[in-house]
């Protein structure tokens, strides 16, 4: 290959790369089509909270509260679309980016008033309304994760970019209002306060703060990128002071944003590793009897500032050997994020049905927010609760029955009791088995008569039909 040919190929390659860069620049550039004055005017216009805006907010609060109470996604979406909460949040990010302390003061004041009014109105609605069911729409707002952080940030980016474009894209603004969902978390806070559930209230407030901080942060970043002019002050010393205040407040906003992102990310990574660990251990265990493990019933608690917890439960009566569990604990150490976590396998059998019943009850309450929209899982859990409830109700007062039997059947010299699981593979039941021994000098017909009477007496006394009497020679 000649030198001229090599130079020609290099020039073509260089030209191809340059054309790609030019194409990408034109594709992604948002500065050339930005209307700075119109953007500023539209953001400032949406900040005030008075007159029409206050009535729109009150209406959206009631609509969101009714939708959450009725578990209606469509109604909740309608409340998101008309809610004016986004205005002051954009104002916060915009004022920090442009060093406008007066605008920051107005945005913050209106934001706090809007939030307070939203929570109080939602609280009054749920406190006075007779129906206060914990619907899936409500409970979906009490456990934020890393996805909510990303939705808040990129929703804020899309919102401020749409605002900055000449001829604002209204559909994008509506879409961001739905995606970030600012109003439902505040209504959930009001609901939680009405039922005095502080855990729900803190979770919903946490979700709202995530959305607020990251929308404001995204607004700050985009406005800085678009190089909006900074606010001018006649007094140079005042200009420098305002600039310092704006930058300090920007850092103050970024610190909790970074902390929240890091904390939520660590929790998400812990749960990812924990779920993978369970997939490789208990989910692969070959149950031979009626034991069953369901991933939906496992509890993964990150516990910020404390040791994480992994708790799983085996339903039914099959017991996993401790040696197997110890092997799983060794495998747990292969995951860096799980090394300090406590791992517990709760197992149910006929001797600890009461403890198992209590655990499933607690698990049902703690997982309700995750399972309430999963009808099949709830059905399975309630079936297990019913089985355990029947088993727990069969805990008979043995000492009292023993005393009564001594007086009623003096011929009885020995009595033992135990529960037996019986199944025909179509249904399963727990039998109450009594083993008795009569006086040796009794003839067989007398023993048969006494056994018949005793079995009938036990069924009547225990109010149970599944009583089985076995006679020991």
In the three-class reduction of DSSP (H, G, I as helix; E, B as strand; rest coil), residue 469 is classed as strand
Query: Which CATH number covers residue 64?
Result: 1.20.1080
Rounded to 5 degrees, what are φ and ψ at 141?
A: -105, 15
pLDDT in tens, 389-425: 555 444 566 777 777 777 778 888 888 887 777 776 6
For range 338-367, the mean pLDDT: 64
Residues 58 and 197 in one domain: yes
Domain that holds residue 347: 269-392
For range 228-246, the mean pLDDT: 67
Decide if 287 is inside a domain.
Answer: yes
List the single range of 105-114, 218-227, 429-438 with lowest mean pLDDT: 429-438
Decide if 114 is inside a domain.
Answer: yes
Residues 148 and 113 in one domain: yes
pTM: 0.58
Residues 91 and 215 in one domain: yes
Q: Using the 3D structure, point to which of 231, 250, 285 is the last residue of a domain.
A: 231
Please determine, for residue 28, whether its predicted confidence score (pLDDT) is greater than 80: no
Beta-bridge partners for 311: 299, 344
In the three-class reduction of DSSP (H, G, I as helix; E, B as strand; rest coil), residue 470 is classed as strand
CA distance 174 to 78: 10
Residues 402 and 378 in one domain: no
Residues 144 and 160 in one domain: yes
Please determine, for residue 292, whether its predicted confidence score (pLDDT) is greater than 60: yes
CA distance 11 to 176: 45
Between residues 370 and 436, which one has the greater pLDDT?
A: 436
Q: Which residue has the tokens 């092997």?
A: 327
Please determine, for residue 197, whether its predicted confidence score (pLDDT) is greater than 80: yes
List the single range of 83-92, 234-243, 361-370, 451-460 with lowest mean pLDDT: 361-370
Residues 346 and 444 in one domain: no
Between residues 223 and 295, which one has the greater pLDDT?
A: 223
Please determine, for residue 233, whether its predicted confidence score (pLDDT) is greater than 80: no
Please determine, for residue 350, whether its predicted confidence score (pLDDT) is greater than 50: no
Decide if 258 is inside a domain.
Answer: no
Q: Which helix (H) or strand (E) holds 7?
A: helix 3-28
Residues 351 and 365 in one domain: yes
Domain count, the chain: 3
Residues 152 and 298 in one domain: no
Residues 387 and 402 in one domain: no
Beta-bridge partners for 412: 438
Decide if 251 is inside a domain.
Answer: no
* Average pLDDT value over all residues in the chain: 76
In the three-class reduction of DSSP (H, G, I as helix; E, B as strand; rest coil), residue 342 is classed as strand
In the three-class reduction of DSSP (H, G, I as helix; E, B as strand; rest coil), residue 433 is classed as strand
Q: Using the 3D structure, point to which of 342, 376, 392 is the last residue of a domain.
A: 392
């Amino acid at each position: 290959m000649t030198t001229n040919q090599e130079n020609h190929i290099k020039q073509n390659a260089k030209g191809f790369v340059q054309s790609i860069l030019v194409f990408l620049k034109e594709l992604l550039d948002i500065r050339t089509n930005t209307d700075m004055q119109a953007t500023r005017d539209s953001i400032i216009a949406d900040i005030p909270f008075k007159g029409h805006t206050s009535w729109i907010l009150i209406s959206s609060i009631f609509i969101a509260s009714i939708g959450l109470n009725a578990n209606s996604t469509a109604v909740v979406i309608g409340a998101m679309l008309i809610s004016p909460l986004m205005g002051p949040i954009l104002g916060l990010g915009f004022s920090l980016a442009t060093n406008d302390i007066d605008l920051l003061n107005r945005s913050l004041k209106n934001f706090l008033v809007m939030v307070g009014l939203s929570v109080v109105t939602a609280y009054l609605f749920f406190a006075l309304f007779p129906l206060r069911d914990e619907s899936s729409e409500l409970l979906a707002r009490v456990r934020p994760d890393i996805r909510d952080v990303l939705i808040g940030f990129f929703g804020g980016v899309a919102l401020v970019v749409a605002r900055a474009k000449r001829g604002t894209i209204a559909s994008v603004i509506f879409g961001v209002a739905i995606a970030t969902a600012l109003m439902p978390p505040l209504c959930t806070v009001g609901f939680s306060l009405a039922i005095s559930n502080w855990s729900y209230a803190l979770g919903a407030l946490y979700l709202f703060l995530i959305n607020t901080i990251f929308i404001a942060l995204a607004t700050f970043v985009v406005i800085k990128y678009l190089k909006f002019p900074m606010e001018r002050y006649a007094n140079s010393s005042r200009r420098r002071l305002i600039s310092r205040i704006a930058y300090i407040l920007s850092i103050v906003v970024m610190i909790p944003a970074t902390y929240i992102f890091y904390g939520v990310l660590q929790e998400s990574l812990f749960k990812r590793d924990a779920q993978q660990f369970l997939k490789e251990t208990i989910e692969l265990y070959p149950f031979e009897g009626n034991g069953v493990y369901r991933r939906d019933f496992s509890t993964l608690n990150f516990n910020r500032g404390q040791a994480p917890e992994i708790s799983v439960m085996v339903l039914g009566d099959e017991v996993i050997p401790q040696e197997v569990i110890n092997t799983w604990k060794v495998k747990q150490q292969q995951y860096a994020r799980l090394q300090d976590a406590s791992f517990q396998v709760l197992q149910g059998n006929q001797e600890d049905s009461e403890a198992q019943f209590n655990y499933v009850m607690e698990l049902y309450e703690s997982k309700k927010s995750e399972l309430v929209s999963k009808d099949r899982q709830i059905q399975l859990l309630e079936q297990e609760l019913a089985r355990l409830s029947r088993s727990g109700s069969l805990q008979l007062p043995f000492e009292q029955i023993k005393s009564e039997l001594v007086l009623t059947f003096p011929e009885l010299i020995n009595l033992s009791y135990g529960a037996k699981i019986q199944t025909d593979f179509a249904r399963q039941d727990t039998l109450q088995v009594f083993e008795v021994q009569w006086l040796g000098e009794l003839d067989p017909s007398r023993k048969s008569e006494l056994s018949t009477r005793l079995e009938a007496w036990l069924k009547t006394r225990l109010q149970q039909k599944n009583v089985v009497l076995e006679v020991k020679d």
